[in-house]
């Protein structure tokens, strides 16, 4: 059944059978969504007791601070200590943001443009060109931030151990290359954990730009759903040791620990960077939501307890990833035109289908009521040169719906691939 | 006792008596703060039941939306309807931000710089010069945002009915004048309510700049502490009628309704502006804290109930403002060197002391342990050309402390004024 060894006749026959199946699925008027790394309601139910963990006004006081009032721009000391515990850095290396770490990333880049970073010779808006490295497949929202500010996005291929570091080391010799987007643990979408060597090569980068910024989005730092917690290195300390303490900006949030969009976020970096940004952030706000910070610290307590909470999520997520992986293996595997990963954490499965067919396959999906992340989204400017990569986000639909959605998806993948072979 | 009619001898005698009093106060090692419009703990206690008004996960659903999950970038429909009710505009004219309206103001100006507003011929960073009008005395954090982005700040005097509109109408003929900061109700710090005529002249402005922005910070829209609610005009509808629907950006928040820094904020403007900014804001965040939005809507319900809640605050605030007004009248009035307002809402009392003595008076205060908003803060660049205006923020200290702080403050005002007269 490997499509590469099938005759035209066999392909045509297979196509007709698949098309019948497709039309049958389409007639069900499905409305299913595997587009975004959105937790399902079942998962949110498991952590909804956070709503009642801070109801007594007498508990709003911590370290002599009234969390209900203005103040503590960088965050409550207990919240800074919480993130330091989770990330393995120091409390004074943290700044608590609002609900979204994405907003902190945006603000760092936005301020780099308007005012420059600590070691910038000038604001980035005064540079002739700003180039930014985008390991791909990667996260569309990252790429969009730098695109929004007019940077030239440069694709760096992903390998099994992280971004292609030979290429990164070569590219950073260009002083106009100002930074790189990274998701070091369970990378979005490939689910790769950067190897120790990759992390070490990052910390020891010697970019020509003195204000080169490693945007280290540790979004899935404690997000195992299969197996035990995988420890990760403290890149901040490593950059300090390597003599470039201000080179890395680490981000994390509780968006996929408690509630997406109603959690707390953190920027972690050198003390000098944190001081600089606390000053800049002081222009835009008096302080972030300390009630929510305190609520989260009361609920999550520390890293050890957070890992316990993450096991609850795993109990819901693991079966969903299992469905996707099983169906891909059964329905797509034998045809021999696609490859995918099988991650143990994070929120995505990255699939490479037959080059030139991803867009077509997802258009068919949409027509049948199954919404996926648009083809190309995982590459700079939303353009996958191979038209091959597809990001699958299994977290939102319940298992029963997921099976239906995957049935549609697998059928569409095959239809698009065989159509391509027939047209050649 | 009017110091303007006293002999040098009398002034010297008065100075010595006041100095003795000052030294006695100083020896008490006070630590009092009248620097910021920070509610007191007594006031926060009155609204702390908001902590327990959303504890049941089943109540997190509204209009078919799960408030715990990602989505609804512009805010929950119920939250948009809430602000439309409070501000007298339409729900589709609102965008819910994070905890701070200041951050929304910053983001509007920041995006005007990097990308331009709806009617901008180009981003403001590409303009030769950007000038911004700053009615003064005004709010230092407003001025700082435009200063941060390199605008030239132009002082416009405040009158009893709002900014000097003759001057505003003249200044906006300059196409480089891109906007103005306004606090239309209980202006910070003067406590003035803009007159109907002033508001109408604002709505009917014909600035040379097509992207002129009225930054309408309605921070104290429901913040009466003395007397009944004072209705205010819907500037958004008025600008629409006058043919410049995109000229005004209104802001408000619950920072002084529920918890400062843990409330919800809103940007209200034309539908076109809201659509434009929703698109821009989509680059920096997926959605703001909808749990907190829902919590607030459950707690505050609507405008009518919000006004009830504000009466609780008034019960705490009114006596504090009374203490300040009474002491100024008794201790400063007869000396004839200072004028101040007596507002019925808002968070401040603005005092003009003898020109050339504000800085000195506040330095004496600080030395005696009483922290005030720095002299000059109410003017662009923190420089009061008269060195006369002082903002008094009576909300934070309990009444007993406030009396002590005002004792120090009045003593220092008199010392600085008499010292000046003696040196002439």
List beta partners, residue A95: A267
Distance from the A71 Cα atom to the nearest Cα atom in chain B, whole angstroms: 8
For the segment A21-56, what is each residue's pLDDT rounded down to a tens digit?
A: 999 999 999 999 998 889 999 999 999 999 999 999
Name the residue among A68, A288, A290 with its Cβ closest to that of B48: A68
- Indicate the pLDDT class of residue A226, thresholds 50, 70 and 90: very high
Interface touch A261/B55, C-beta < 8 Å: no
SS3 content of chain B, % helix, strand, coil (to 5): 45, 15, 40
What are A348-358's pLDDT values in tens digits? 999 999 999 99
Instruction: Indicate whether B368 pLDDT > 80.
Output: yes
- A290 vs B110: CB contact, 8 Å cut-off? no
In sequence order, which residues have a C-beta less than 8 Å from that of residue B87 and are 6 or more positions away?
B94, B218, B221, B234, B250, B252, B266, B268
Cα(A98)–Cα(A75) distance, integer angstroms: 10
Interface with A, mutate which of B33, B96, B265, B286 (most A CBs under 10 A): B286
Quick one: pLDDT band at residue A291, thresholds 50, 70, 90?
very high
Mutate to test the interface with B, among A122, A283, A298 (most CBs of B within 10 A): A283
- Residues of chain B neighbouring A60 (CB-CB closer than 8 A): 48, 51
Please give the pLDDT value at position B336. 96
Chain A residues touching residue B126 (CB < 8 angstroms): none
Contacts of A54 in chain B (CB under 8 A): 51
**pLDDT tens digit sequence for B188-206:** 999 999 999 999 999 999 9
Overall average pLDDT of the A179-193 stretch:
97
Q: Do B261 and A98 touch (CB under 8 A)?
A: no
Q: Find, in chain B, the residue whose alpha carbon is nearest to that of A279.
A: B148
Q: What is the pLDDT of residue A173?
A: 98
CB contact under 8 A, A68 and B290: no
CA–CA distance, B310 with A311 (Å, rounded to integer):
44
Element of type H or E holding A86: helix A77-87
pLDDT band at A229 (very low <50, low <70, confident <90, very high): very high
Minimal C-alpha gap between B397 and chain A (Å): 13
Residues of A in contact with B259 (CB under 8 A): 68-69, 291
Q: Which two tokens stand for residue B122?
A: 């180009």
pLDDT at B36: 87
Quick check: A415 and A18 in contact, CB under 8 A? Answer: yes
Query: pLDDT digit string (tens) for B316-339?
Result: 999 999 999 999 999 999 999 999
* Contact between chains at A103 and B284 (C-beta distance less than 8 A): yes
- Compute the average pLDDT of residues B351-366: 98
pLDDT of the residue at B15: 97
Cβ-Cβ contacts under 8 Å, A51 against chain B: 54-57, 60, 291
| Rounded distance between C-alpha atoms, residue B147 and residue A284, angstroms | 12
Mean pLDDT, all residues of chain A: 97
Please tell me the predicted confidence (pLDDT) of residue A38: 93
B88 pLDDT tier (thresholds 50, 70, 90): very high
CB-based contact B379:B136 (threshold 8 Å): yes
Task: Tell me if A57 and B69 make a contact (CB, 8 A cut-off).
Answer: no
Asked if B149 lies within 8 A of A114 by C-beta distance, the reply is yes
The arithmetic mean of pLDDT across residues A384-411, rounded, is 96
Residues B71-97 have a mean pLDDT of: 98
Q: Do B102 and A289 touch (CB under 8 A)?
A: no
B409-424 confidence digits (pLDDT tens): 999 999 999 999 999 8
Residue of A nearest to B149 (CA): A114
Please determine, for residue A1, whether its predicted confidence score (pLDDT) is greater than 90: no
Cβ atoms of B133 and B170 closer than 8 Å: no
Q: Measured between beta carbons, which residues in chain A are less than 8 angstroms from residue B106?
A: 283-285
Summarize the confidence of residues A319-343 as an average pLDDT: 97
**pLDDT band with cut points at 50, 70 and 90 for residue B1:** confident
Q: How confident is the model at residue B293 (pLDDT cuts 50, 70, 90)?
A: very high
Of A66, A71, A98, the CB nearest to B99: A98
Both tokens of B190, joined, read 């003067």
CB pair distance less than 8 Å for A261 and B71: yes
Give per-residue pLDDT as tens, A75-122.
999 999 999 999 999 999 999 999 999 999 999 999 999 999 999 999
pLDDT at A333: 96
pLDDT score recorded for residue B424: 87
Residues of B in contact with A66 (CB under 8 A): 41, 44
Q: Are B321 and B394 in contact (CB under 8 A)?
A: yes
Are B209 and B247 spatial neighbours (Cβ–Cβ below 8 Å)?
Answer: no
Give CA–CA dist B224/B220, Å, rounded. 8
Please, what sign has the CA dihedral across residues B233, B234, B240, B246?
positive
ipTM of the predicted assembly exceeds 0.85 = yes
For the segment A288-314, the average pLDDT, to the nearest whole number, is 98
Q: Is the pLDDT of residue A198 over 80?
A: yes
* pLDDT tens by residue, B111-120: 999 999 999 9
Residue B8 pLDDT: 95
User: Which chain A residues are closer than 8 Å to B103 by Cβ?
Assistant: 284-285
């Amino acid at each position: 059944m490997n499509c590469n060894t099938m005759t035209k006749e066999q392909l045509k026959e297979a196509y007709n059978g698949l098309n019948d199946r497709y039309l049958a699925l389409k007639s069900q008027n499905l409305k299913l969504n595997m587009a975004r790394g959105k937790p399902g309601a079942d998962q949110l139910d498991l952590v909804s007791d956070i709503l009642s963990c801070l109801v007594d006004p007498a508990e709003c006081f911590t370290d002599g601070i009234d969390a209900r009032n203005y103040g503590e721009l960088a965050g409550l000391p207990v919240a800074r200590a919480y993130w330091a515990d989770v990330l393995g850095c120091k409390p004074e290396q943290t700044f608590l943001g609002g609900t979204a770490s994405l907003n902190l990333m945006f603000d760092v880049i936005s301020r780099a443009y308007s005012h420059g970073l600590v070691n910038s010779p000038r604001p980035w808006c005064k540079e002739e060109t700003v180039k930014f490295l985008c390991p791909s497949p990667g996260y569309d929202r990252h790429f969009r931030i730098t695109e929004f500010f007019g940077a030239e996005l440069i694709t760096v291929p992903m390998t099994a151990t992280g971004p292609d570091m030979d290429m990164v080391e070569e590219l950073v010799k260009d002083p106009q290359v100002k930074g790189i987007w990274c998701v070091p643990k369970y990378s979005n979408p490939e689910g790769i954990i950067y190897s120790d060597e990759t992390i070490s090569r990052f910390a020891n980068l010697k970019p020509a730009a003195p204000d080169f910024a490693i945007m280290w989005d540790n979004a899935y730092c404690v997000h195992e759903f299969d197996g035990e917690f995988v420890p990760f290195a403290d890149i901040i300390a490593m950059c300090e040791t390597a003599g470039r303490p201000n080179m890395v900006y680490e981000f994390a949030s509780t968006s996929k620990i408690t509630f997406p969009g109603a959690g707390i976020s953190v920027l972690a970096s050198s003390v000098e960077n944190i001081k600089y940004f606390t000053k800049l952030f002081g222009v835009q706000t008096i302080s972030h939501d300390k009630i929510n910070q305190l609520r989260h610290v009361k609920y999550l307590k520390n890293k050890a307890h957070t890992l316990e909470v993450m096991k609850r999520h795993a109990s819901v997520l693991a079966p969903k990833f299992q469905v996707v992986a099983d169906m891909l293996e059964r329905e797509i595997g034998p045809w021999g035109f696609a490859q995918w990963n099988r991650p143990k954490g994070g929120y995505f499965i990255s699939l490479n289908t037959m080059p030139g067919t991803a867009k077509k396959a997802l258009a068919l999906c949409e027509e049948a009521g199954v919404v996926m992340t648009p083809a190309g989204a995982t590459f700079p400017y939303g353009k996958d040169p191979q038209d091959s990569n597809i990001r699958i986000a299994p977290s939102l639909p319940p298992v029963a719906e997921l099976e239906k959605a995957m049935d549609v998806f697998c059928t569409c993948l095959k239809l698009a691939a065989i159509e391509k072979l027939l047209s050649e």
